[in-house]
Amino acid sequence: MTDADRPLRADARRNREKIMASAAELFASRGREAQMEEIAAHCGLGMGTLYRHFPSKQALLTAMVRERFRGMADLARAAEQITDPGESFEVLLRSYLEAAEGDASFQLALMGSGDVEWQGISEEKAEFGAVVSRIIERAVAAGAVRGDLTYADFIQLSRGVMSTMYFKPAGNSDWRRHLELTLTGVRKSTARTRR
């Protein structure tokens, strides 16, 4: 059993929740530039309390990304309930990206930042990946998307759009436009040429 799995006393649980909420706010706005001292001050706790829960910024980021992946798995399960396979895939990709909007640290983590200990999130990633894979397989079988689409492609596509979201390149920073172009490229060619 890891420290994260052990039940916490009520006061320790409240402190952990305060830390996570403050860190989420600061990391969302400042990305990896947010410092542990700022997080402790923001939530009104001492550095000792912060470090008892999270021994490093990397550990804190990992815990936050783990929580976000649990939420992403919920989004994926909701998208899986959509009857139309093509719509199910498109809702999945759109909601995944919308959930990351405004959270710079999560965007960086998903784009491959080295600040996250991914082995600590393997279970959550596997759960999310399993649902996404089923959605893609169903969309491929229905002919709604190109026949060679895979889960690895989903990650590649979402990272591409997320880079537009995060870096906001001059003159072309509309990530939603990037998403629509991406979806057009993924749809089966017969669907793309339909008027």
Q: What DSSP letter does each residue of 87-156 carry, written as one string?
A: HHHHHHHHHHHHHHTT-HHHHHHHTT-TTS-GGGGHHHHHHHHHHHHHHHHHHHHTTSB-TT--HHHHHH
Please give the structure tokens belonging to residue 86. 């093509």
| Percent of the chain topping pLDDT 90 | 54
Mean pLDDT of the chain: 86
pLDDT score of 2 more than 80: no
pLDDT at 1: 44
Indicate the length of the chain as a whole number: 195
Q: Which residue has the tokens 């929580």?
A: 67
pLDDT score of 109 more than 90: no
* Cβ–Cβ < 8 Å for 148, 188: no
pLDDT at 6: 56
Task: Give the mean model confidence (pLDDT) for residues 20-46.
Answer: 88
Closest CA to 93 of 39, 136, 41, 141: 136
Q: Using CA atoms in the order 142, 81, 152, 161, what is the torsion angle rounded to 10 degrees? A: 100
- The domain limits of the chain are 1-55, 57-193
Q: Hey, do 1-55 and 57-193 end up sharing a CATH topology, with the first three levels equal?
A: no
- Fold held by 1-55: Arc Repressor Mutant, subunit A (1.10.10)
- Rounded CA-CA distance 173/184 in Å is 18
Task: Give the mean model confidence (pLDDT) for residues 7-16.
Answer: 81
SS3 70: helix
pLDDT at 194: 40
Position 94 confidence tier, pLDDT thresholds 50, 70, 90: very high
How many CA atoms lie less than 13 Å away from 171 in the CB half-sphere? 0
Please give the structure tokens belonging to residue 102. 């405004």
- Fold held by 57-193: Tetracycline Repressor; domain 2 (1.10.357)
pLDDT at 86: 97
pTM of the model: 0.80
**Residue 121 vs residue 53, higher pLDDT:** 53
pLDDT digits (tens, 9 = 90+) for 146-182: 999 999 999 999 999 999 988 887 666 789 999 999 9
Other C-beta atoms closer than 10 Å to the C-beta of 107 total: 21
- Rounded CA-CA distance 62/44 in Å is 22
Which of 29-33, 55-59, 105-109 holds the top average pLDDT?
A: 55-59
**Residue 112 vs residue 106, higher pLDDT:** 106
